[in-house]
Structure 1
Amino acid sequence: MGTEAAGPPAPETAYEPLASVRTGPLPPSLSLADALSEGLARSQAIIAAEADVRAARGRLRQAGYRANPELSLEVENVLGTGELAGLRAMETTLSVNQRLDLAGRRGARVRFAQAELIVQQLRLAIVQADLQFTVREQFARAVAAREKLAQASDTVARARELSRVAGVLVEVGRDPPLRAIRARSALAQAVADEEAARAEDLAARSLLAAALGSSRAIAFVEGDMSLPPPSVVGSPLELRLADAERASAEASLAIELTANRLDPAVGLGVRHIRETGDIGLVGGVSIPLPVFDRNRGGISAARAALEGAEARRAGAEIAADARARNARGAVDANLRRVEALEQSAIPEAAEALRLAELSYREGRATLLELLDTQESYTAARAALTDARLALALAQAELARAVATGDTES
C-alpha cells in the first residue's frame, strides 16, 4: 500500500468566493487608463472567466488525490446445516483494500487538470484583452466625436462673425444684400452641423459607457486617441491557447490509454474464528481483467480530438500572423497620413483661411472665395480627426493582435 493517502497540499482557502462586480455610476470624466480600469472591474464576462479558472484549480487539486481505501466486512459459515448451524462456526473477516494506481492514472489526471487550468487562464486573458480592445476602440471614437464637436463649434463661431461682417459690409454699400443672405445661410448650416456633432458626441459617450457596463453616458473623456506601441514579448494569446488546447488533448489521450492498463488493488484484514477464538491475518490482490471493455472507443475519440487540436493550432498560427501583419500595415499607413495632414495640409489650410479673411475684409476677395476657403479648412481638420481615429483603431487592433496576456490586468 502506498504511503501517500491524500492529494497535494490544500490551498490557504478551500473555496474562493466570486469577486464582486463594481457597480454604481461611472466617474463624470474618464481618461483611457480610467476607462480600462472601470471596464475590467465591471465586466461580468471577466467574473465568469475568473470563476472558470477557480473551478479548474479545484479540479487540479482533486485530480491529485489517490482513490479512497475500502473497508469490507465478511461473515462466513453462519446459519448453515450440521456443524455450520447457527453461529458456532462463524468466521468474521474485517479488511482494508487499496487500489495501487500503478497504471499511472493519477499522474495522467493531474497532467490533464494542469493543462485545463492553463487553458482556462488563457481564456481569461483573452476575455480581458477583448474587453480592453473594445474599450480602446470606443474611447477613441468618443475622443474623435469630442474633437469634431469642438471643430463644429469653432466653425459656428467663424460663421457668426462672418455673418456679422457681411451685414456691416452690406450696410455700408460695399456688398450687395445677397452676400449677407449667403453668410446667414452658411451660419445656419454650421449650426445644424454643430447639432449633428453634438448628437454624435453623446452617442459615442453612451457607447463607451455601455462598453463599461453603464447605461448613463459619460460626461467627458480626457486625453487623446493615440496609444503607445505594444511590446511583443511572446506568442499571441490565440496561438498560446491553441498550444494549451493541444497539450490538453494530449493529456486526455494519456488518460484514455491508462484506462486500458492493469490496475491492481491490495487488501489486508483480520479474520476471527468464533469456534476456536483464534485470530489471523488475511491478505489478497485483485486485478481487473480487460476482457470486454478495453476502452478502444475512448482512445479513438481522444486521438481524433488531438488531431483536431493540432489542426486548429496550425490555423491559429496562420491567422495570428496575418492579423498582426495587417494591423502593423494599417498603423504605418495611418501614421503617415496623420503626419502628412499635421505637417502640411492643416498649416496650409489655416494660412489660406487667414489670408482669405484678411482679403475679404480689405475687399480683395469675395464672400464665396472666403466660404470656399473656410470649407477647405473645415474639411482638412475633419480629415485629420478621421486619420487620428483610424490610427488609434489600428493601434488598438495591433495591441490586441500581439497581446500575450503576460502583462494584462
Structure 2
Amino acid sequence: MRSRYLVLGATFLLSGAWFPACAAAPVVPPLTLGQAIELALSSNPSLRVAGHSAAIADGARLQAGLLPNPELSVLREGVQRAGRTQTVQISQPLELGGKRAARVRVAELDQTLATDTLRVTAAGLRADVTAAYFEVLTAQERATLAQGALELANKARSAASRRVAAGKISPVDESRSTVAAAGAQLELATAQAELAGARRRLAALWGGSLPLEQPLILPEPTSLPPLATLRAGLESTPQLQRAASQVAREAAQVRLEQAQRMPDMAVIVGSKKDTELGRSQALLGLSIPLPLFNRQQGNLLSALRRAEQAKAELAVTRLELEQGLADAYQRAELAQLQLDTIRTGMLPAAKSALDATVTGFELGKFNFLDVLDAQRTLSQVRTQYLNAMSERYRALADVQRYAAPDQTESTK
C-alpha cells in the first residue's frame, strides 16, 4: 500500500500539477500595426539620418547670423631706429545691402527644408511599415491555407489508399494522390519560407536583423474617406510642403545674390607712431571694393534659374501626388470588390464542391481526377483571394503614402 502511494505521489509531481506556474508557457503579446509604426519611427536608421540633417541645419542657421570678425594688423616701416614707424590698425567689415538678413533667411528656410525632409521620410517609413505589416499578414494567411491544402491532400491520399486496398480503383489514382500531397507539402514549405522573409523585412524597418517572432493581428476593417476629401488635403502632405519650402528657399537665395551685388565696406581705425620722434598719429579710413568686373552676375542668374526649377518641381510633385493617389484609391476599391466577391461567393462554393467531391470519391461516386480538379479549383480561388488581399493592403499603404497623414488614420 505504501509503495502505491509513493507511485501516485511521483506521478502527481511529474505531471506538473504541483507547479502550475512552471508548466505554463509564456504568452507573447501580439504586435499591432500602431506599435510597429511607433517602433520603426523610434529606431529606423534612415529616419535617424534625416534627424541629423535637421540638426546640421540648426548649426548653419547659427553660423549665418554671426557678424564678420574684425582684423588686426601691425606694420613696421624701416629697420634702423632713425626714421622707423609702426602702424597698428583694426579693420571691421560692414555688410551692406541686407546681406546678413538675407543669409539668415536662407538658413532658416534650409532648416524648414530639413524638417520637411524628416516629415517626408517619416511618412514614407509609416507607409513602408504598413505595407510590410500587411505583407506578413498575407504570408501568414498563405501559410495557413497551404497547411489546409496539405491536410486535404493527405485526406484524399488516405481515401485513395483505402480504395486501392479494397480493389475499387487503380493504383494509378493512389500515385496521383501521392504526387498531389507532395506538391501540397512543397507549397507549404514555400509559404513558410515567404512568411519568414516577410517577418525579417518587417523587423529590418526598425533595425532588427532577425525575423520577427511576435504574432500579428489584422486591424479592424475600415473604409477609405472619399477621394475628393483626400485630394482636398494634398496641400498639407509632407511632399508638397517640402516642395513649397524649396520654392521659398530658392526665392530667398535670389534675394541673397541680389544683396551680394552691393560691395561691403570696411572701417579702419588705427595709430601710426614715429619711434625716432616719439609722435603718434591717429588713423581713420574706409575700404570699399569697386565692383567693376565681378558683380555676381553668374550667381544671380543661377539663383533665378533654380527658382524657376523649384516652381516646376512643385507642379510636378503635385501632379504625381494626384495621379498616385487616384491610382492607389482605384486599386484599393477594385481589390475590395474582388475580396467581397471571392469571400461571399467563389470561396464557399469551391470549398463546398471539394468537400462534396472528396466525400463522393470515398463513396465511389467520383474518380480521383474529379478530386484533383476540385482541389485545383479551390487552390486557384484561394490564390485569387490572397492576391486581392495583398493588392488591397499595398493600395492602402500607397494611399497613406500619398495622402495627408491625418486623413489616413482610419486606414491604419
TM range, smaller chain: 0.7 to 0.9
Where in structure 2 are the equivalents of 1:17-32 lying within 5 Å? Answer: 30-32=31-33
CA distance in 2, matches of 1:404, 1:122: 14
Change (3 A) 1:163 1:268: same
Determine if the alignment matches structure 1 residue 168 to structure 2 residue 162. Answer: yes
User: By how many angstroms is 1:288 displaced?
Assistant: 3.0
**Equivalent residue for 1:141?**
135
Q: C-alpha deviations, 1:11-37, integer Å up to 9, x for none?
A: xxxxxxxxxxxxxxxx99754344434
Pairwise CA distance, 1:298 = 1.5
Report matched runs for 1:8-407 at 5 Å.
Answer: 30-72=31-73, 85-86=82-83, 96-172=90-166, 174-175=168-169, 177-219=171-213, 221-224=215-218, 229=224, 232=230, 233=233, 234-267=235-268, 283-403=284-404
SS of residue in 2 equivalent to 1:246: helix
Contact 1:356 1:370 in 2 (8 A): yes
**Structure 1: distance between partners of 2:406 and 2:170:** 68
Are residues 214 and 85 of structure 1, via their aligned partners in 2, closer, same or farther at CA, if it must alter by over 3 Å? same
| Percent of aligned pairs sharing the same letter | 27
CA offset at residue 69 of structure 1? 3.2
Q: 2:200 and 2:385 mapped to 1: Cα distance? A: 24
Is the CA contact 1:136–1:396 (under 8 Å) kept in the aligned structure 2?
yes
8 A Cα contact 1:352 1:373, kept in partner: yes
Give yes or no for contact 1:271–1:279 (8 Å, CA) kept in 2. yes
Moved more, 312-321 or 357-366: 357-366
Q: Deviations over 1:97-152 (max 9, x none)?
A: 43343310000101111111122222223333333333333333332222111111
2:282 & 2:79 partners in 1: Cα distance? 24
Question: Structure 2 unaligned runs (5+)?
Answer: 1-27
Once the two structures are TM-superposed, the CA of residue 55 in structure 1 deviates from its matched residue by 1.0
Q: TM-score, normalised by structure 2?
A: 0.77
Q: Distance in 2 between matches of 1:185 and 1:94?
A: 100
Preserved CA contact (<8 Å) 1:36 1:132: yes
What is the TM-score when the length of structure 1 is the normalising length? 0.77
CA contact (8 A) 1:270 1:282 kept: yes
Please tell me the residue identity of whatever aligns with 2:67: R
Between stretches 53-62 and 355-364, larger displacement belongs to 355-364
Would the alpha carbon gap of residues 31 and 292 (structure 1) be closer, same or farther in structure 2, given more than 3 Å must change? same
For the residues of structure 1 that align with 2:110 and 2:391, how far apart are their CA atoms?
Answer: 38
Verify the 8 A CA contact 1:356 1:365 in the aligned structure 2. yes
The number of residues matched between the two structures is 375
Aligned partners of 1:348, 1:161: CA distance in 2, in Å? 20
Q: Secondary structure at the match of 2:399?
A: helix
Q: Distance in 1 between matches of 2:100 and 2:147?
A: 70
C-alpha change, 1:303 and 1:405, in structure 2 (3 Å) is farther
| CA RMSD after TM alignment | 3.6
Q: CA deviation at 1:86?
A: 4.4
| Distance in 2 (alpha carbons) for counterparts of 1:405 and 1:321 | 17
In 2, distance between residues paired with 1:345 and 1:406?
Answer: 34
1:265–1:287: 8 Å Cα contact kept in structure 2? yes
Higher mean C-alpha deviation, range 385-394 or range 287-296:
287-296
Q: Distance in 2 between matches of 1:101 and 1:110?
A: 13
- Whether contact under 8 Å (1:225, 1:392) holds in the other structure is no
Query: Which structure: greater helix fraction?
Result: 2
How far off its partner does 1:73 sit? 5.3
User: Which whole-Å CA distance do the structure 1 matches of 2:338 and 2:237 have between them?
Assistant: 28
1:276, distance to aligned residue in structure 2 (A) = 9.1
| Greater shift in the superposed pair: 352-361 or 42-51 | 352-361
Q: Where does residue 13 of structure 1 map in the other structure?
A: none
Gaps of 5+ in 1: 1-26
> Which of 259-268 and 174-183 deviates more?
174-183
Report SS of the residue matched to 1:99.
Answer: strand
**In the TM superposition, what is the alpha-carbon distance from 1:49 to its structure 2 partner?**
2.0
Is the alpha carbon distance of 1:159 and 1:396 closer, same or farther for their aligned partners in structure 2, counting shifts above 3 Å?
same
The residue type equivalent to 1:342 in the other structure is R
Aligned partner letter, 1:391: R
What is the distance in 1 between the residues matched to 2:55 and 2:177?
67
Q: Distance in 1 between matches of 2:111 and 2:348?
A: 56
